[in-house]
Amino acid sequence: MKTKLSHNVYVVELNRKVWSESTKFRDANPHYKGLMGCLYVGMTSHSPQERYKKHKTGYRTKKGIKISSRFVEKYGVFLRPHLYSAFNPLTKSDAVDLERNLANSLKKRGYAVWWN
């Protein structure tokens, strides 16, 4: 049985204002020294470009449920494909694992990272 490669991970560059304006973001990144940028790591069943657009517009489902990250909506600047494109596409299970692993790897490299 074939496993469907239906998901993608993606990385969004966040404006560094997120660091000074969000206690929640700062608390999630106590290691951050200010040398690297601020990032958001996510996964999606859409293309990274389509998902980024949904974040930036504050997308809501037909039931009115907001599914965009407030950090990307307010602070998202652009996608960083060189940090994720080599991994895509993935199975949903692999995307879930990679989202967490990529976020942790980027933190270890000195970035401030938000992911959920």
Per-residue pLDDT of the chain (116 residues; tens, 9 = 90+): 567 999 999 999 999 999 999 999 999 999 999 999 999 999 999 999 999 999 999 888 889 888 889 999 999 999 999 999 999 999 999 999 999 999 999 999 999 999 98
The backbone region for 104, taken as left when phi is positive above 0, alpha when psi lies in -120 to 50, beta otherwise, is: alpha
| pLDDT attached to residue 67 | 83
12: which residues sit within 8 A by CB, 6+ positions away? Answer: 39, 40, 41, 42, 52, 55, 72, 76, 77, 78, 79, 80
Number of Cβ atoms within 10 Å of the Cβ of 41? 26
| pLDDT attached to residue 2 | 60
Tokens of 29: 């990144």
Q: How far is CA 48 from CA 6, 51, 54, in A?
A: 12, 5, 10
At residue 13, φ and ψ (nearest 5 deg) are: -75, 130
pTM: 0.94
